[in-house]
Chains A and B, each alone.
Chain A
Amino acid sequence: MKRNAIAFWGASVLFLAAILLSAELVANEYWFFAGYVILQFIVLSVAWTILGGYAGYVNFGTSAFFGVGVYTAVFLVSAVGAPLPVQIAIAAVVGAILGFAVGLLTLRMQGIFFSIATIAITIIIETAVTNWRELGGAAGIQIQRPPVTAPFHTYVQMLVFVQAVLVVISVAIARYMQNSWIGRGLQALRDDELAAECTGVPTLRLKLIACVISGALMCAAGAPAAMYLQYADPASAFNLNYSVSVLAMALIGGTAHWIGPVIGAILLGVTQQVLTVTISSEVNVLVLGVMLVLFVVGAPEGIIGLFKRRRPEGKA
């Protein structure tokens, strides 16, 4: 356990250092544009797994949290010109509050009812934002990037580093939860909610904790997207594609361990980037659908499930 922790934090520091170094070494800006999207999907799918994987509540509201993150940043920039770290921090707080509210409203529902309710919340929030004139309404809103600060050469390089920090934070949280009493409680209620209650697990409270943390991370991951795109509109910020992509990434990687969504996000994220560039964005969505179906049918425990069969008791 102890050695694992050292390895984990060592790897995290190396990872962040590598990202910083790449700002010096990599000249082609495309790699940062693509890398940003993949890192963003890692945060989102790790965050999704906390509720969707550990607790087994299939959340289709990723795009709601993501979009609220985007628009929190938009609002803070246009209203008070807040700097990026403040945008992200406040987005996380808003996400936590939203997660709490959504959780209270929906976490008593089971199975598909919960899933449908989260879609409903997404559309309702999207509609509200569409009707919010000050934030650009349906037409969207342009955002100006402030000048970039050293050691970064471009703003996107900085955003990549910020998103990489969010990756480390979200993985650290997911990892902590998985190995703590919270993770064990969530796993128990995922297996059998009534049995968990009767074994002393405060199921509603644990689900709320998961929903709050998951929501905060998703909103935080969405906040820098406003600066990344320099533009926000409700139809793209709240697009259901985010929800389904993130769900697919988590399920493809496997949801029993934090490494699952990381693998899934990298695999599907890279594939999508390659396909969008080389073929078309339609094929990209087609591949998403096909891979989702193939994996839920053929590899119910995702990629980590395929490995676990050979090597049981794989815990970090």
Chain B
Amino acid sequence: MTSTDTTALPLLRIGALTKRFGGFTALDNVSVDIKPGERFGLIGPNGSGKTTLINCISGAFRTEPSTVVFDGEDITRLPPHVRTRRGIARSFQIPRPFRSMTVIENLMVAADFTSATHLRLTAEDHRDQAVTILQQMGLANKANARVTGLSQVELRKMELARAMATRPKLLISDEAMAGLSGSEVDEVLDLLLKLAGESITIIMIEHIMHAVMRFSERIMCLDAGKIIAIGQPSEVMANARVQEAYLGT
């Protein structure tokens, strides 16, 4: 490919993705392109297929060839850990920390398994990187704490920090603000806004509407596995079908 305008290439292309479980269609012919550096909001009622879509992107579910194209490459055959190394990181709706480890050890796992081997980084380098990320996340003082002792908001931040420690190009935040108080929501939202930029693209799944509105450049709304609206936040919110399916409930 000799295209000069590389910015036109999507970072992530979902192409006609359909995912069935037995007779139940969780995702029905979903297609969307996500641009590099974009802040993308994904909304929809419970069971609309949001998390299924995330699982298809991160590799927990396998899909048909060329339905998930990342950075110009078909990644549908790749297991999750290879996708992570290619630059897709995620947090989980219900936090899934490594419970037997401290906060910094959680991040060290990411550094150990995703750093480029040709750089010959030592354990000390990994630790320094992890500390830097924890500082960025405001968790530096918890570095040596056991994850079992963290508060809900700290756990959410730890998951984002662990995802960041894999040095992703695409960060998927799966309801990172669920169950948090108002000020905590703002805290996490500010973090995500700070992280987003030219080198990191973020997909945010969220039920907290003002957060998605403030965060997203573009919003997509799923309902029963189908895209019912996609576009500017204000457009999507004004859409009658969105209001019926999502806000109406």
Contact = CB atoms under 8 A, between A and B. Distances in A.
Contacts of A195: 92, 96-98
Contact of B84 (A185, A188, A198, A313): A198
A289 interface: no
A187 B58 contact: no
Interface string A163-189: 000000000000000000100110110
Contact of A197 (B59, B100, B112): B59
Contacts of A188: 98, 101, 109
B100 A200 contact: no
A187 B101 contact: yes
Contacts of A196: 81, 98, 109
B113 A202 contact: yes
Closest 6 pairs between A and B when the two form their complex, measured CB to CB = A200-B113, A195-B96, A197-B80, A200-B114, A191-B98, A200-B84
B65 interface: no
Interface string A228-268: 00000000000000000000000000001000000000000
A87 interface: no
Contact of B113 (A190, A192, A194, A199): A199
A-side interface mostly:
helix
B90 to A, nearest CB: 6
Contacts of A192: 96-99
B170 interface: no
Contacts of A313: 144
Contact of B100 (A181, A187, A203): A187
Contact of A200 (B81, B101, B105): B81
Interface of B: 58-60, 79-82, 84-85, 89-90, 92, 96-101, 105, 108-110, 112-114, 144, 162-163, 165-166
A197 B98 contact: no
Give the interface residue-count category, chain A: 20 to 34
Given A196-B98, A256-B100, A184 B80 contact: no
A201 interface: yes
A184 B89 contact: no
A185 B113 contact: yes
Contact of A194 (B96, B105, B110, B166): B96
A201 B60 contact: no
18 contacts: A187-B98, A187-B100, A188-B98, A191-B98, A191-B99, A192-B96, A192-B99, A194-B60, A194-B80, A195-B96, A196-B81, A196-B98, A197-B59, A197-B60, A199-B162, A199-B166, A200-B110, A204-B79
A190 B144 CA distance: 20
B109 A201 contact: yes
Contacts of B166: 199-200
Contacts of B85: 200
B57 to A, nearest CB: 11
A198 B89 contact: yes
Contacts of A187: 98, 100-101
Contacts of B105: 184
A198 B61 CA distance: 12
B41 to A, nearest CB: 21
